[in-house]
Amino acid sequence: MKLNGNDSRKAPAPKKKPKSHRALNALLAVVLLVAAAVAGYAIWERPPAIAAPQPAQPTPEQAATQPVESAAPADGPDVSDPDDDPDNSAALTTDATHRDGVYTVLLVGRDAASNSTDTIIVGRFDTVAHTVDCVSIPRDTLINISWSSTPKKINAVYPGYINSGKDGVEALRNHVAKLLGFEVDCYVVVSMDAVAEVVDAIGGVWYDVPEDMYYWDFAQNLSITIPAGYQLLNGEDTVKVCRFRDSYAGGDIERIGVQQDVLKTLASQVLTVGNIPNLSTLAEIVAEHTETDLTAANIAWFARQFLRCSMDDVKFHTLPIATGSYIGGVSVVSIDVPAWLDMVNTCLTPFDTPLTEQNVDILCANASGTSVWATTGVVAGGEDSFFCMTCTVKNGGVSAHHLPGLCPED
């Protein structure tokens, strides 16, 4: 029947899509957006450049003929010896091949107030196998450096060069290269303030503090009052746990073990799915508190690669020690060279050529601290260039140095 020439029947309404189909379409749209974002992120991020193999160490005869420049200013250590020049670093022979996808990094924990670098870690990141190996270098490790106005120890390098108006990072990289036998690909110097902020950003770290930690140092404005036991640590207390070593029987070596445990715990929490939204915040914290030769794109690439690791793939080690002794009233530790080279070849080198004693420049001492020698055969600065704390104090703070074992108080 028609009314006014129009069909009274209504056209059928369009069929509604089932809710399940709408939900699926929305989910697919989200997936596509995320995929596009990840694709754009992957296009932007970049792996860092790798360090090229360097010429082999000079022989003792070659080193002995190198000229010595004029002394450094009186207010800093003598860093003028060519062996201490960052551009004259020791490293691997040029016939070595760098393995694809393997990167090495020098990670340094710096105290913002004193510039001390008591935390020094060399890491190797294999982005093909997705494994990470980290080796801690004790702060008292002897190094073959020419200066005589401060101890010949690894943790004195960064502040020593800074105080002399030189590049502390490059100097530290150079001396770490002498221990390793190769140049690391990149470096990150992190203020301890960054560690505290990262911990706070992820809501703290649950950690089993191994013993009561009570220590006061008014000179450093440091107060540690942390009881033993499993507890949630905020950022400030996490840093204090890492710094504490007052009652450890093993001294700095035992502190390194605690630092490694804290870092593993922190890494484990960062790797959890729940912290993925925090990654941008963590990246901002790191960027604000670090000195590095990595770009933002490099850091982003490393972060994505790291998220593909499991905690079983992240391993920590400590440089093997042969002896611990005192030279001029200063505590030092000497590297067990054969064991160290085995660790370097197993855990750290990115090259396909094994390293030998010919590739390193390592200073060693006997257990009594009365005799020293270098793997190159040349003690930088001479054997009479060892700083003596005891004589310096007796001289009213005027730097004193002499042969090991010749201090009247020894």
Mean pLDDT by 10 residues, the chain (410 residues): 49 51 48 41 59 48 36 41 43 70 92 77 94 94 94 93 90 95 92 86 91 83 90 93 81 86 83 65 77 84 83 91 93 96 96 92 94 94 92 89 80
Pairing state of beta strands 314-318 and 363-365?
Answer: unpaired
Which helix (H) or strand (E) segment holds residue 207: the answer is strand 205-209
First-to-final CA distance of the chain: 122
pLDDT of 346 reads: 96
Task: Record the pTM.
Answer: 0.76
pLDDT of 274 reads: 61
Average pLDDT for the chain: 79
Q: Which residues 6+ apart lie within 8 Å of 379 measured at CB?
A: 144, 363, 372, 373, 385
pLDDT of 331 reads: 92
- Spell out where 256-385 has E strands: 290-292, 314-318, 321-327, 330-335, 363-365, 372-374
Residue 122 in 3-state DSSP?
Answer: strand
C-alpha 52/C-alpha 185 separation (Å) is 8
Tokens matching residue 177: 């290269």
pLDDT of 303 reads: 79
> Phi and psi of 324, rounded to 5°?
-120, 135
H-type helices in 271-319, by residue range? Answer: 279-289, 296-306
Distance of CA 233 to the CA centre of its chain: 22
Q: In angstroms, what CA-CA distances link 145 with 13, 156, 157, 182, 201?
A: 88, 10, 9, 17, 40
C-alpha 94/C-alpha 54 separation (Å) is 6
Question: For the stretch 364-383, what's the b/e string if a residue is b when 16 or more beta carbons lie within 10 angstroms of its beta carbon?
Answer: bbeeebeebbbbbebbbbee
Residue 330 in 3-state DSSP?
Answer: strand
Question: For the stretch 120-141, what's the b/e string if a residue is b when 16 or more beta carbons lie within 10 angstroms of its beta carbon?
Answer: bbbbbbbbeebbbbbbbbbbbb
Asked whether 303 and 294 are in contact (CB, 8 A), the reply is no
pLDDT of 118 reads: 81
Instruction: Specify the amino acid at residue 6.
Output: N
CA pseudo-torsion sign 387, 390, 394, 397: positive
pLDDT of 334 reads: 96
Which helix (H) or strand (E) segment holds residue 20: the answer is helix 19-44
